[in-house]
Amino acid sequence: MSRSNPVRVAPRYVAEVDEGGLGAVDAVRVSDRKSNLWLDAWRDLRSRWMFWVSAVVILFIVFVALFPGVFTQVPPNDECYLSNSDGPPQPGHPLGFTKQGCDVFSRIVHGAGTSLSVGIIVTVLVAVMGIVIGAFAGFFGGWLDSFLMRIGDIFFAIPYVLAAVVVMTMFLHERNILIISLAIGFFSWPGTARILRSEILRVKQYDYVMASEALGLSKFRTMFTHVLPNSITPLIIMSTVGLAAAITAEATLSFLGVGLPNNIFMSWGNDIAAAQGSLRTNPLTLIYPSIALSVTVLAFIMLGETVREALDPKARATR
């Protein structure tokens, strides 16, 4: 229809409230604000103090990880003098020194990057593996589903920190951030895959999926444009909490001595492990990195918690 066409397009008809009968049922209040799951969730999130606290803490940690130079000029590893061993705070060294004479504050600041990198790499890895495996199992069903889920059962049966311990023992001489992330991520995807699969099984039954197939869209197209975007919510929640779990796992592995090498990488888990010898004499060198680690993990868990409550109407109802 060209613009010059004289046929008038009828204006959208909005029924009067007092019209009565079926007309009123059809009426749409176009003046109302638009609403969808994400807008609702955002309105819900905005009103929660826990969301704002965790968001601010996370942004701050990201800033510290990206720009450690803003907070400290002291190199975390290169200026360690044994004469400073377990020393008290000095000007320029606000939190004192470790047993090796390194600056505690600088090591904590530089450790943020390590923790966040591991957390993000593991989360992306787990999300990708979980989406691919869960989506294929849930959408195509049949023997592929059974096969993939049995594989998931097998990986689920190995506690991922223990598996990572074995992997890291194998790679003792080439430990780095990528290897530790792979070691953690490779054994923690079954939970995500299971949840995504059950969500896809639920979404698959909806009419719009059948409509999409009836319109002739391929199975893949249907899956990626209609099923997956509608099943992604639980994945977001799991990823936030999973990021916290990955940070904890890295710290635990480093604490056990199979994580990142102490002299190359700054890791809070390493610092805590190194400080255990001075627990009686200088407990603060242990407490400071512990606080940094716990606050970071808490921020991500709190964020996951608030996002879960905002996105899950059932949780909202039982509150």
Determine the angle formed by the axes of helices 49-66 and 284-311, rounding to 10 degrees.
130
Pairwise CA distance, residues 156 & 126, whole Å: 13
CA atoms within 13 A on the CB side of 75: 8
In the shown chain, the binding pattern of residues 284 to 303 toward other proteins, with x for contact by CB under 8 A and - for none, equals --xx--x--xx--xx--xx-
The reply to whether 122 sits near other proteins by the rule CB under 8 A is no
263: tokens are 């002299």
Q: Which is nearer to other proteins, 154 or 211 (CB)?
A: 154
Q: Which is nearer to other proteins, 105 or 268 (CB)?
A: 268
Pairwise CA distance, residues 252 & 155, whole Å: 20
Contact 114, 250 (CB under 8 A): yes
Pairwise CA distance, residues 95 & 252, whole Å: 23
Pairwise CA distance, residues 154 & 190, whole Å: 9
62: tokens are 């990201």
Which stretch in 24-32, 72-80, 135-143, 158-166 sits in contact with other proteins by CB under 8 A? 158-166
Q: Min. distance of Cβ 280 from other proteins in angstroms?
A: 6
Q: Which is nearer to other proteins, 232 or 256 (CB)?
A: 256
The reply to whether 165 sits near other proteins by the rule CB under 8 A is yes
Phi, psi of 102 (to 5 degrees): -90, 160
Q: Counting every residue, how long is the chain?
A: 319
Q: Which is nearer to other proteins, 79 or 153 (CB)?
A: 153
Residues 133-152 that bind other proteins (CB under 8 A): 150-151
Q: Which is nearer to other proteins, 60 or 224 (CB)?
A: 60
The reply to whether 248 sits near other proteins by the rule CB under 8 A is yes
Given 135, 184, 258, 274, the residue binding other proteins (CB under 8 A): 258
Q: Min. distance of Cβ 2 from other proteins in angstroms?
A: 57
Q: Which is nearer to other proteins, 212 or 282 (CB)?
A: 282
Residues 167-206 that bind other proteins (CB under 8 A): 167, 169-170, 172
| Amino acid letter for position 299 | A
Given 23, 92, 94, 159, the residue binding other proteins (CB under 8 A): 159
Q: Min. distance of Cβ 283 from other proteins in angstroms?
A: 5
| Amino acid letter for position 309 | E
Residues 175-213 as b/e (b if ≥16 CB within 10 A, e otherwise) read bebebbbbbbbbbbbbbbbbbbbebbbebbeeeebeebe
Q: Min. distance of Cβ 12 from other proteins in angstroms?
A: 43
Q: Tell me which residue of 316, 296, 297 sits closest to 307, measured CA to CA.
A: 316
Q: Min. distance of Cβ 167 from other proteins in angstroms?
A: 6
Contacting residues toward other proteins, per CB under 8 A:
150-151, 153-155, 157-163, 165-167, 169-170, 172, 244, 248, 251-252, 255-258, 269, 272-273, 276, 279-280, 283, 286-287, 290, 293-294, 297-298, 301-302, 305, 318-319
